[in-house]
Amino acid sequence: MATPKPKSSTSTLQKSNHASARKPKRFRSAYSKAELEEIFRRFSVQRPEPKGELEHVNPFTLVVAVALSAQATDAGVNKATRALFKVADTPEKMLALGEEGITQYIRTIGLYRNKAKNVIALSRMLIDEFGSEVPKTREELMRLPGVGRKTANVVMSMAFGIPTIAVDTHIFRLANRLLLAPGKTPDEVEQHLLKVIPDHYLFRAHHWLILHGRYTCKARKPECERCIIADLCRSPEKTCDVPAPLAELPPQVIGVAEAVE
């Protein structure tokens, strides 16, 4: 009877490597729990009551505004929707305007024709399936034409006070640049942020990160000398280690010309 040959160490090692390769990498932030707590504590001191900068008058107009903001600035959307929302602040009024009527108000916004179609379609769905009320769940919101996960998260947070993280271009950039919650996709970044943001800061964290990315940690050139977390920041791009003085900023004024994004 032949003696079975022992498995070679090379073969065993190869199998071990394959097994480890299949294991998903465990996410780790570059910051300790204490550092994360301090980062968001400082944001809370600087902006105790942060606000989204899209103008709206009710949950319906918020859904429309966020849907229109895709590949557009909040300032550009606000300029177009001020007049629109004066004449159409309900799904019924928006439907009555019609696609061409909406187009007359939003033609300064990129992809305005396709967005006008989506606004009509989502208005009709709200009337037909939701009794003209904006739904509160992510799954139902994402059924609306032109509404993706980011839009749904914004509406859940701003309209209904449900803690979420909506990953826009600013948050995606910050999460990766600061090594806070790096990820290859917005969904991945969202999941990582939910793991690292202290629970008691989660509700406002969305706005803190957006505003920090819009006005301080800017896309083209971060203004590190104006950053209140410069000493804690792990970004390879940072140019300053001295944090800016921590002080509460003046209350936000929504409806005036915003800074260039």
**Residues labelled as active-site residues:** 150, 168
Alpha-carbon span 182 to 152, nearest angstrom: 22
Query: What angle in degrees, to the nearest 10, is found between the helix axes of 59-68 and 91-106?
Result: 30
Residue closest to 236 by CA, chosen among 186, 176, 185 = 176
Instruction: Report which residue type is found at 8.
Output: S
Q: What phi, psi does 17 have (nearest 5°)?
A: -65, -40
CB 28 within 8 A of CB 37: no
Q: What phi, psi does 20 have (nearest 5°)?
A: -70, -30
